Chain A
Amino acid sequence: MKYYNKLIFEISKPGRIGYSLPQSDFGNYSLTDLPRSLRREAPAELPEVSELDVVRHYTNVSNKNFGVETGFYPLGSCTMKYNPKINEEMAALPAFTTLHPCQSEESVQGALRLYYELAQALAEISGLAEFTLNPFAGAHGELTGLMLMRQYHIKRGDLKRTKVIVPDSAHGTNPASAAVCGLEIVEVPSTPEGTIDVAKLEPLLDDTIAGIMMTNPNTLGIFEKEIPQIAKLVHGCGGLLYYDGANLNPLLGRCRPGDMGFDIMHINLHKTFSTPHGGGGPGSGPVGVAAALVDYLPRPRVVKHGDRYAVEGGKDSMGSISGFFGNFGVMMRAYAYILSLGKENLKHVGELATLNANYVKESLKDCYYLPIEGICKHEFVFDGLLDKSTGVTTLDVAKRLLDYGYHAPTIYFPLLFHQSIMIEPTETESKETLDEFIEVMRTVAREAIDDPEMVKSAPHVTPVRRLDETTAAKNPILRFKDLNN
């Protein structure tokens, strides 16, 4: 198929239209009655194209993309599982999509009930008391959770607690969310085994600590088995424990953050609960809290009185973090997933994801360097190729995988190793898919020895090849108007 490389602006022709609007018959009302000084001078230069032009253009543009339905994503910490079709059908039901968010409670009982039931289901899966579904994404959930943490201390008059502890293996959003929330970040190092160094954590704990942010299993895929001790220490100093739910998938059916001692957590519905990533959103980052924090949850809150559902504010609430109820359409998809699997299937998600990850790890550790041995959970990290003499880097391996029809793993994260390759195969991938991927990974390792230049110049058969990112950043061209070629 021919490579399509036009922008929508480049197929525009004056006079074409792609819409049909109803005729209106309101008489002599004209926008030109508005004062000239309040109207824009020249029209916005939007494209002028027919409907078929638009359909062909965005179909051809889509063909330059890779998605879960194109092929396998071994992408660490991203949980790229299958996005079921029934979820999409449910999210498109007009009985929900036509609801205005300011309608009366009476007229949106079904939507409020869905919100409430999903929140209840997440609370059960997490072992926490209550959830807000308002946060729009994982990082937004982290920010909301940290605001809740601060609100808890503020409401107790405990104003000194302005620091939060973040492990050095944490996702980048953790320290970034803490900074937006006005917290000072204190980093705690990992042990050589990849888990939090409890001996180094202890001296950090005093009455200025608001809490700790952790993900468990951590970003190396290792379960922090000292968690009961960590919870005891952090609670002992008056701090709270925040759980980053990006890595929740392997725990389904096996372990609950609330039972581990966490007080606050977020869940990425677009990871664990199968909603599509959409090329970078919309996600959804529900936040759950233990009973002591329920009154601080953000506005609006959906509550149940008898058999009616209502929307409330709450005088101790931390405030609003969204214009309305968050990404409701994403919640519908996640709830369809939970109802489909039900309690008897949800409990197998974690163990099958963990089985897949360990299978891939054990099948490749003779070609790629595994810095931390042992059973992992949903993901694991290699520190580049075992044979470092070839000069082939993690980036090269990632790019070569694109030629073979795979998305690359997460690379150069976590920062604990120089050549991190982070792999997470989810439970929806079959043994055959994994076997083929393992074979390709082994082939690339061989190619690195036999023909390193070919690997270093990969990819070779993708729609475009390696890009000049340096020039892009040095002289940014960020809109069509500035593009002169």
Chain B
Amino acid sequence: MYKYFPHTESDIAEMLERIGVSSLDDLYAEIPEGIRFDKDYNLKKSMSEDEVRSYFKELGRLNHPLISFAGGGAYDHYAPSVIGQLIARSEYLTAYTPYQPEISQGTLQYIFEFQSMMCELTGMECCNASMYDGATATAEAMLMAIAHAKKRNKVIISRTVNERVVAVVETYARFHGVELGFIPEKEGVTDKEALAQLIEADDVAGVIVSSPNRYGIIEDFTGVADNAHAHKTLFIVNADPSALAVLKTPGEWGADIACGDGQSLGMPLNFGGPYVGYLAAKRDLVRKLPGRIVGATKDVDGKRAFVLTLQAREQHIRRQKANSNICSNQSLMALYVTIYMALMGKRGLQEVNEKSYAGAHYLCDKLLATGKFSLCFDKPFLKEFAVKTTLNRENLLKHLEEKGFLAGIPVEGTDDAILFCVTEKRTREEIDNLVSLIEQEG
């Protein structure tokens, strides 16, 4: 017997009798002998609750949590205590997908709130119930562009998009048979002249850019939307939603689709997941959106209620003709960021960005003042920036790690550049300590 199995010996006997068999083995009688598994699994023995706890704590001791000056798609923002406790409520945590709306109004309502808030942040007109992460959301945006264009099979993506996002987009493109082109980078930003040339042939279904980009630079997309639309090309912007509380939104840039990762909305780093992808669009693309969408309606008594809608886009109805194969998404994480956005509100999210901006620029200036760093590109940034160092990068990062700092991420494709990030959680003392450790180097 085990604590998760309620069956007593007599229960089993009575149940077998009703079924009309004499043993549990009889329930598997049809399985051919050659493929039966009648050994013991080569696994650890059952652990008591305390033993499980000790085991995890022992594994935990092999980790070294660091003071994070790293971003690159995972940001150490303030996570209000309220959120973890609310999303742990079993009514949210242990619920199934809201296919039975009469007993799932809780889930359906928060998804409606999530969609509403993400539309506010991105400046878009509709948003789905969430995607797995920012990288897969961007890949799905690419597939939307292909489906929308019908006769075009080419999408182009800027070299300044985070390389982890690009890697996932490349995988989806290769297997789906999408021709993926690259827009070169010029001085740390998307080369807009090259972009214009690439779409001139009227064969590009979509163009994907991001801001802030892989160097933390806030890109200027002036003119891109008009140019793209003149060639019937969809304009797709991957954006950090936290930053959109202050930065020009994809909607304001004239984007057709906005996508990205909601991790920056106060989610724990969690070694990379679970996070939450978002995918938002202009209203006329709503039927091309993948995944679940919640709409408002009324019940038979006229009470306002919410329901999964436009389901004819989805795999359980359309099978291979569906917009996407996505089924489970990251619903509980959508609740997480919804509660975060409610708590931070109109003012708080701006403040997060103001403080992150100030800290990042303070660190940047102090690093430059050491004489050991120079900016990779002198362009506007928010909370992340890339600098080149005259020090041995790998040694520097290793030494700082030993002192308890995750001092940025090496910029891929360079041997001397580091991407630093400062959020509102980093104090002046932490930054000063980091810089004085760096000053002692080399």
Q: Verify B65–A228 contact, CB threshold 8 A.
A: no
B165 within 8 A of A: yes
A476 within 8 A of B: yes
Closest Cβ of chain A to B100, distance in Å, is 5
Q: How far is the CA of A173 from the CA of B323 in the complex (A)?
A: 11
Q: Verify B40–A320 contact, CB threshold 8 A.
A: no
Closest Cβ of chain B to A435, distance in Å, is 10
A236 within 8 A of B: no
Q: Verify B37–A259 contact, CB threshold 8 A.
A: yes
Q: How far is the CA of A277 from the CA of B129 in the complex (A)?
A: 15
Report B-chain residues with C-beta under 8 Å of the C-beta of A45: 120, 346
Q: Verify B11–A84 contact, CB threshold 8 A.
A: no
Q: Verify B63–A43 contact, CB threshold 8 A.
A: no
A101 within 8 A of B: yes
For B66, give its contact among A55, A103, A402, A464 (CB under 8 Å): A103
Closest Cβ of chain B to A456, distance in Å, is 12
B370 within 8 A of A: no
Q: How far is the CA of A96 from the CA of B271 in the complex (A)?
A: 7
Tell me which of B197-205, B224-232, B247-255 binds A: B247-255
Q: How far is the CA of A283 from the CA of B245 in the complex (A)?
A: 29
Contact A24/B27 with A46-B349, A98-B269, A147-B175 known, Cβ cut-off 8 Å = no
For B94, give its contact among A19, A37, A177, A276 (CB under 8 Å): A276
Q: Verify A478–B293 contact, CB threshold 8 A.
A: yes
Report A-chain residues with C-beta under 8 Å of the C-beta of B78: 19, 21
Contact with A along B161-175 (1 / 0, CB 8 A): 000110110111011
Q: Verify B4–A341 contact, CB threshold 8 A.
A: yes
Contact A124/B41 with A19-B343, A35-B380 known, Cβ cut-off 8 Å = yes
Closest Cβ of chain B to A289, distance in Å, is 16
Q: How far is the CA of A457 from the CA of B245 in the complex (A)?
A: 46
Report A-chain residues with C-beta under 8 Å of the C-beta of B172: 180
Closest Cβ of chain A to B109, distance in Å, is 5
Q: Verify A473–B325 contact, CB threshold 8 A.
A: no
Cβ < 8 Å to A, chain B residues 109-148: 109-110, 112-113, 115-117, 119-121, 123, 125-127, 129-130, 132-136, 143
Closest Cβ of chain B to A70, distance in Å, is 7
Contact with A along B62-90 (1 / 0, CB 8 A): 11111010101110101010101010111
Report B-chain residues with C-beta under 8 Å of the C-beta of A61: 105-106, 109-110
Report B-chain residues with C-beta under 8 Å of the C-beta of A477: 295-297
Contact A469/B343 with A276-B93, A343-B44 known, Cβ cut-off 8 Å = no
Contact with A along B16-47 (1 / 0, CB 8 A): 10111100101111111011110011111111
Q: Verify B89–A59 contact, CB threshold 8 A.
A: yes
A: number of interface residues (CB 8 Å): 200
A235 within 8 A of B: no
Q: Verify A108–B346 contact, CB threshold 8 A.
A: no
Closest Cβ of chain A to B385, distance in Å, is 13
Contact with A along B328-358 (1 / 0, CB 8 A): 1111110100110111111111111111011
Closest Cβ of chain B to A58, distance in Å, is 5
Contact A137/B4 with A22-B425, A26-B361 known, Cβ cut-off 8 Å = no
For B6, give its contact among A62, A63, A113, A431 (CB under 8 Å): A431
For B345, give its contact among A19, A38, A142, A328 (CB under 8 Å): A19
Q: How far is the CA of A252 from the CA of B353 in the complex (A)?
A: 50
Q: How far is the CA of A135 from the CA of B98 in the complex (A)?
A: 22
Q: How far is the CA of A170 from the CA of B361 in the complex (A)?
A: 55
Q: How far is the CA of A75 from the CA of B96 in the complex (A)?
A: 9
Q: Verify B47–A40 contact, CB threshold 8 A.
A: no
Q: Verify B18–A428 contact, CB threshold 8 A.
A: no
Nearest neighbor of B93 in chain A, beta-carbon distance: A276
Q: Verify B355–A21 contact, CB threshold 8 A.
A: yes
Q: Verify B105–A64 contact, CB threshold 8 A.
A: yes
Q: Verify B7–A430 contact, CB threshold 8 A.
A: yes
Q: Verify A282–B324 contact, CB threshold 8 A.
A: no
Closest Cβ of chain B to A236, distance in Å, is 17
Q: Verify A464–B303 contact, CB threshold 8 A.
A: yes
B194 within 8 A of A: no
Q: How far is the CA of A138 from the CA of B70 in the complex (A)?
A: 31
Q: Verify B325–A398 contact, CB threshold 8 A.
A: no
Q: Verify A137–B329 contact, CB threshold 8 A.
A: yes
Q: Verify B171–A321 contact, CB threshold 8 A.
A: yes
Q: Verify A106–B94 contact, CB threshold 8 A.
A: no
Q: How far is the CA of A467 from the CA of B428 in the complex (A)?
A: 54
B398 within 8 A of A: yes
Report B-chain residues with C-beta under 8 Å of the C-beta of A278: 92-93, 95, 330-333
Q: How far is the CA of A358 from the CA of B20 in the complex (A)?
A: 10
Q: How far is the CA of A354 from the CA of B330 in the complex (A)?
A: 30
Contact A78/B96 with A282-B330, A428-B4 known, Cβ cut-off 8 Å = yes
Q: How far is the CA of A120 from the CA of B269 in the complex (A)?
A: 25
Q: Verify B47–A340 contact, CB threshold 8 A.
A: yes
B436 within 8 A of A: no
Tell me which of A198-206, A344-352, A381-389, A439-447 binds B: A344-352
Closest Cβ of chain B to A25, distance in Å, is 5
Q: Verify B271–A99 contact, CB threshold 8 A.
A: yes
Q: Verify A339–B298 contact, CB threshold 8 A.
A: no
Cβ < 8 Å to B, chain A residues 398-448: 398-399, 402, 407-408, 413, 427-431, 433
Contact with B along A467-485 (1 / 0, CB 8 A): 1110111001111110101
Q: How far is the CA of A276 from the CA of B97 in the complex (A)?
A: 11
A291 within 8 A of B: no
Report B-chain residues with C-beta under 8 Å of the C-beta of A480: 112-113, 116
A362 within 8 A of B: yes
Closest Cβ of chain B to A51, distance in Å, is 6
Q: How far is the CA of A383 from the CA of B32 in the complex (A)?
A: 28
B61 within 8 A of A: yes
Contact A467/B298 with A29-B358, A63-B91, A338-B43 known, Cβ cut-off 8 Å = yes
Cβ < 8 Å to B, chain A residues 237-266: 253-256, 259-261
Contact A281/B331 with A98-B65, A479-B115 known, Cβ cut-off 8 Å = yes
B102 within 8 A of A: yes
For B103, give its contact among A65, A146, A342 (CB under 8 Å): A65
Q: How far is the CA of A359 from the CA of B314 in the complex (A)?
A: 34
Closest Cβ of chain A to B230, distance in Å, is 21
A-B contact pairs, 23 of them (CB 8 A): A46-B120, A46-B345, A61-B110, A65-B107, A66-B104, A92-B84, A104-B397, A108-B64, A110-B61, A137-B329, A280-B97, A282-B330, A282-B333, A323-B73, A355-B24, A356-B15, A407-B96, A472-B296, A473-B309, A476-B126, A478-B112, A479-B119, A480-B112
Q: A136-B132, A398-B100 are in contact. List 7 more A-B contacts (CB 8 A).
A: A44-B346, A92-B84, A175-B319, A177-B325, A359-B18, A467-B307, A478-B309
